[in-house]
């Protein structure tokens, strides 16, 4: 019983970080219908930026989010402008797969050149500190990472719900043609949306780098997890992706601790398969698509 509860605690805290990564992924899909295969690479890029700030300038990894997030926002906007915007709108869903995959490979290549392929991690002094709460261990970094995820997701929610830009995004998600007829600049919304997706990846990357050893090739595993999370949650639904990430985190952790690590990820895929069979649009696909 102790191991089960410990595994659930670990799963929830880890799931929060994946929720942050997946929220950007699903936002980009919601706005542009672009399946961004470079989201994992953006997370790894964010982790390396944080690593550099930590190693070169001694900057605390959590504090570095204040630099990496706006920086990656600008990078995202630039990439959308340079690579996604020129794609013909009729083929954007298919072509974007190729373009974003190429982008992921490009980021991986540059990082391999700059940092080598050796595994790295970000190791502040408090990285392994844990609180003992009623006999259970709660790791400080995981807890803060979870809290940071909640904060960033809350900011994202407020931006989408309470700002003019957010209304434009939601209008574009619901009906791009009508939104344009009402004066929404779809190109601008798309660029800023892609930037927001990259920004969430950067903030997730900072904590990912503290929780896991990573190298430039880590994005392959990340993107497969992120895609399953956003499909389970319902493509385009941020709330759905948060729930799905928590489901994935807890399912993986519990199965790994109580049964076998080999079945850990497979269990999640069984859940995904069942959801797709019974509810092809994902957990929250239809109901919240328009509201993100």
Partner 1 sequence: MHLHKRRGLSRARLWGVGVLAASTLALSGCAAASGTSSAANSAPLKIGISLSLTGDFSSSGKAAQRGYQLWAEVANKSGGILGRKVQLDIVDDASSPDQVVTNYTNLITQTKVDIVFGPFSSLLTVPASRVASRYGYSFIEPAGGGPSVFDQKLNNLFFVQPAESTRGGDVFANYILSLPAGQRPKTAAYAKLDDPFSAPIADNIQKRFEAAGIKTVYDQTYPSETADMTPIVAGIAAAKPDVVIGGTQEGDAFAQIKAMIQLKFNPKWLYEANGSNSPGDFPAAVSLANTAGVFGSIDWYADSTISGSAKFISDYIAKFGGDANQIDPTSAEAYSAGMLLQEVAAKTGKVDNATIIKTLHAGTWPTLVGNLSWDATGKPKGEYLLVQWINGKLQTVYPAKTAQASPIAPKPNWAG
64: contact with partner 1 by CB under 8 A: no
Footprint (CB under 8 A) of partner 1, residues 241-280: 252-254, 256-258, 260-262, 264-265
121: contact with partner 1 by CB under 8 A: yes
Other beta carbons less than 10 A from residue 16's beta carbon = 24
Candidate segments 68-76, 120-128, 168-176, 186-194, binder of partner 1 by CB under 8 A: 120-128
Secondary structure of the chain in the HEC alphabet? CHHHHHHHHHHHHHHHHHHHHHHHHHHHHHHHCCCCCCHHHHHHHHHHHHHHHHHHHCCCHHHHHHHHHHHHHHHHHHHHHHHHCCCCHHHHHHHHHHHHHHHHHHHHHHHHHHHCCCCECCCCCCCCCEEEECCEEEEHHHHHHHHHHHHHHHHHHHHHHHCHHHHHHHHHHHCHHHHHHCCCCHHHHHHHHHHHHHHHHHHHHHHHHHHCCECHHHHHHHHHHHHHHHHHHCCCCHHHHHHHHHHHHHHHHHHHHHCCHHHHHHHHHHHHHHHHHHCCCCCCCCCCCCCC
50: contact with partner 1 by CB under 8 A: no
Exactly one of 94, 137, 178, 185 binds partner 1 (CB under 8 A); that residue is: 137
149: contact with partner 1 by CB under 8 A: no
Of 172 and 228, CB closest to partner 1 = 228
Question: Could you give phi then psi for residue 57, rounded to 5 degrees?
Answer: -120, 0
Q: Record the tokens describing residue 84, joined without a space.
A: 């996604």
Shortest distance (Å) from residue 265 CB to partner 1: 7
Exactly one of 56, 58, 132, 134 binds partner 1 (CB under 8 A); that residue is: 132
3: contact with partner 1 by CB under 8 A: yes
52: contact with partner 1 by CB under 8 A: no
Distance CA 69, CA 219 (A): 18
Exactly one of 26, 39, 80, 139 binds partner 1 (CB under 8 A); that residue is: 139
Of 86 and 135, CB closest to partner 1 = 135
10: contact with partner 1 by CB under 8 A: yes
Question: Could you give phi then psi for residue 67, rounded to 5 degrees?
Answer: -100, -45
Shortest distance (Å) from residue 255 CB to partner 1: 8
Of 102 and 259, CB closest to partner 1 = 259
133: contact with partner 1 by CB under 8 A: no
Shortest distance (Å) from residue 137 CB to partner 1: 5
Candidate segments 3-11, 72-80, 183-191, 283-291, binder of partner 1 by CB under 8 A: 3-11
118: contact with partner 1 by CB under 8 A: yes
Footprint (CB under 8 A) of partner 1, residues 205-224: 211-213, 217-218, 221
Contacting residues toward partner 1, per CB under 8 A: 2-3, 6-7, 10-11, 14, 112, 116-119, 121, 123, 125, 127-130, 132, 137, 139, 142, 211-213, 217-218, 221, 252-254, 256-258, 260-262, 264-265
């Amino acid at each position: 019983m102790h191991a089960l509860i410990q595994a659930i605690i670990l799963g929830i805290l880890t799931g929060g970080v994946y929720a942050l990564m997946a929220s950007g992924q699903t936002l980009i899909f919601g706005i542009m219908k672009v399946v961004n295969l470079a989201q994992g690479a953006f997370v790894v890029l964010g982790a390396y930026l944080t690593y550099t700030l930590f190693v070169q300038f001694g900057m605390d990894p959590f504090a570095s989010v204040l630099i990496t997030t706006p920086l990656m926002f600008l990078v995202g906007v630039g990439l959308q402008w340079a690579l996604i915007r020129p794609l013909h709108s009729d083929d954007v869903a298919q072509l974007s797969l190729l373009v974003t995959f190429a982008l992921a490979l490009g980021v991986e290549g540059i990082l391999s050149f700059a940092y080598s392929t050796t595994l790295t991690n970000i190791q502040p002094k408090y990285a392994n500190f844990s609180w003992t709460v009623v006999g259970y261990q709660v790791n400080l970094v995981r807890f803060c990472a979870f809290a940071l995820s909640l904060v960033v997701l809350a900011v994202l929610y407020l931006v989408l719900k309470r700002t003019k830009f957010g209304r434009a995004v939601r209008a574009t998600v619901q009906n791009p043609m009508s939104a344009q007829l009402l004066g929404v600049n779809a190109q601008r919304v798309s660029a800023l949306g892609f930037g927001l997706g990259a920004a969430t990846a950067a903030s997730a990357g900072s904590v990912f780098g503290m929780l896991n050893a990573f190298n430039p090739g880590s994005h392959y595993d990340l993107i497969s997890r992120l895609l399953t999370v956003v499909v389970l949650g319902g493509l385009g639904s941020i709330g759905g992706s948060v729930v799905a990430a928590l489901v994935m985190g807890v399912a993986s952790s519990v199965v790994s601790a109580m049964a076998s690590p080999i079945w850990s990820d497979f269990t999640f895929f069984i859940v995904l398969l069942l959801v797709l069979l019974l509810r092809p649009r994902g957990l929250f696909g239809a109901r919240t698509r328009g509201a993100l």
